[in-house]
Amino acid sequence: MKRKSNIITLGSLLLMIIATGLVLYYIIAYSKYEFHADFTDTIMWAEASIDARGFLNPDFYYAASLPFGGHLIMIPFVLLFDVSLTAHILGMVTFTLLFVFALVLLGRVMRWNMPMIALLVTSTLLILSLSAKLREIYWGHIIYYSLGILFMLIGLALIFKTISELNNHKHKLKLYILSAIWFFLCSTNLLQSLIIFIIPAIGSAFLVRFIEVDEPLFSKRNLAYYQYLLVCLLASCFGFIVGQIITQDFGGTYADAYSTFSAPSDWINNLHKFLIHWTSLLGADVNDGELFSSKTGVLNLIKISFSLMLLVLPIVMIKSYRNLPYYQKVLLLYHWIMTGLIMIGYIFGRLSAANWRLSPIVATAVITSISYLQYLFKDRKLQRWGYTLTSIFVVIIYISASSLKPNLNQNSDIRSVINLLEEEKLTYGYATFWHANNITVLSNAKIKSRCIELQSGNYKACTYQTNKNWYKDQPNHDNYFLLLTKDEYNTLKINNSNFANSALKKIDHENYVILVFENNIFTD
């Protein structure tokens, strides 16, 4: 019996190691083929902090101001390897390992056995790799979506551990201090952190006891419980105030979607987008007229069915709420509080503009569903359902693992441009958003490509993910390039022919035109 238990434990560890290895291998070997401008957020923030020698840089135009952000992970690697693909990959590997550690930590604190922890880690890692967009959000850069889930995993582990030690005065103070520090730091990231982590964490932990009618609301045990949650709440409030002070002079327009109303006439349309966004985020890519029985049709049906199952399982759990263990109750309430907050922004705000804004819900739905499986396995009458649902997770995990090798030609045009710029010894210049920061990183900072906006033939410095100093004369650069697509060049030629003709040299390359200038186009 003991031997069988050891084999199961070793098998579970192996499964967890394989899943982690697959995601790490994707990051190291394949993520560069899906790499585009949005992947560069975190590493650009790291460079900005290094230049300013502070958390944030007053010269940088941020998409989102995150004092306690992923750029802190990237900084050491940027110092060692510059703004390069190597630095980016090392930063993402570090974040992924932290993510895995947090999943294992949560499982251990909930006293799950090794097979259940392995299922939690494997399912979470690979389901969050099911589509190119999910891979970008969780393993491509570190922004508030993925950060919020990392905050959640560690935050809930602290809550669960502290609650179990409330009567142990030796450990309680240390856990109070650790929790206060964690909630303080996380809340400096302001509204996004509040929505994805702070409010759901404190709210779910409070509601579990509040709706428990079998015990007086203000019993001695509950008062100690509320005292701890109050410490977390006060630390969060203090962190939020500090975050406001730190970020008050910095932009973050992209993140405004969380706090901006859309027109009331759009609310129904916003809601109608949900099913398409949800299924596509989980990998469904359906074309009109595609047969259900075709290979891609069957694959899409599986992904659609699984995406619907992820929606339904947390609803089914509500029926079993009274019988759920404490940890599952908190996870279930966390999922629904966070989902409710995001859906308010999705329907009545501007979150419905993109499917990836639902990515935190995918993560909590997976984690909550796995916790439900753990509950089913504990009940002999329900074990058959546990095995059935687990088999579905295994199928989707296999599909995800099989899709981790992307199309290796996706970036071929950009890599070809980088090679040409290196041959022409053009190392500093400008391009529109989708051909700017990504060229800098993919060239390992040998070429510095800075973002511009091009409107009707007129160009100007971009104020999104850029530094105002990038548009000044650069030392040791005699020539500057302007990289345009052929359509952009034709628009420029029609509307601003004098500028286009003033180029020292024009290079045609595939779908691109490179204009070479003797002087900086912003200071000439």
Output the pLDDT for position 405.
80
> CA 331, CA 326: separation in Å to the nearest integer?
9
Contact of 96 with 26, CB cutoff 8 Å: no
Distances (CA, A) of 478 to 424, 452, 502: 13, 20, 16
Cα 376 versus chain centre, distance: 30
456: left (phi over 0), alpha (psi -120 to 50) or beta: left
Q: Would you state the pLDDT for residue 162? A: 96
- Which pLDDT value is given to residue 254? 64
Side chain identity, residue 337: I
Cα–Cα distance list, 435 to 89, 344, 408, 485, 494 (Å): 20, 34, 18, 9, 22
Whether residue 511 contacts residue 485, with contact meaning beta carbons closer than 8 Å, is answered with yes
pLDDT at 256: 66
Of residues 138, 146, 150, the one with CA closest to residue 27: 138
Q: What is the pLDDT of residue 361?
A: 98
Predicted pLDDT at 407: 78
521's CB contacts (< 8 A; 6+ apart) are 430, 459, 480, 482, 499
Q: How many CA atoms lie within 13 A of 267 on its CB side?
A: 9
Instruction: Give the residue among 356, 340, 436 at the shortest CA–CA distance from 132.
Output: 356
**Per-residue pLDDT, 252:** 61
> What pLDDT shows up at residue 500?
84
List average pLDDT for each run of 10 residues in the chain, which is 524 residues long.
78 94 96 94 96 91 92 97 97 98 98 95 96 96 96 98 87 94 96 96 96 82 92 97 89 68 93 96 91 90 95 96 95 98 95 94 98 92 91 92 82 93 95 95 96 87 93 90 94 85 92 94 81
CB 110 within 8 A of CB 160: yes
Q: How far apart are CA 135 and CA 149, in angstroms?
A: 14
Beta partners for residue 506, in sequence order: 515
pLDDT for residue 6: 80
Report how far apart, in Å, the C-alpha atoms of 224 and of each of 96, 203, 220, 301 are: 35, 16, 7, 49
> Is the Cβ–Cβ distance between 43 and 78 less than 8 Å?
yes
Copy the structure tokens of residue 316: 């089914």
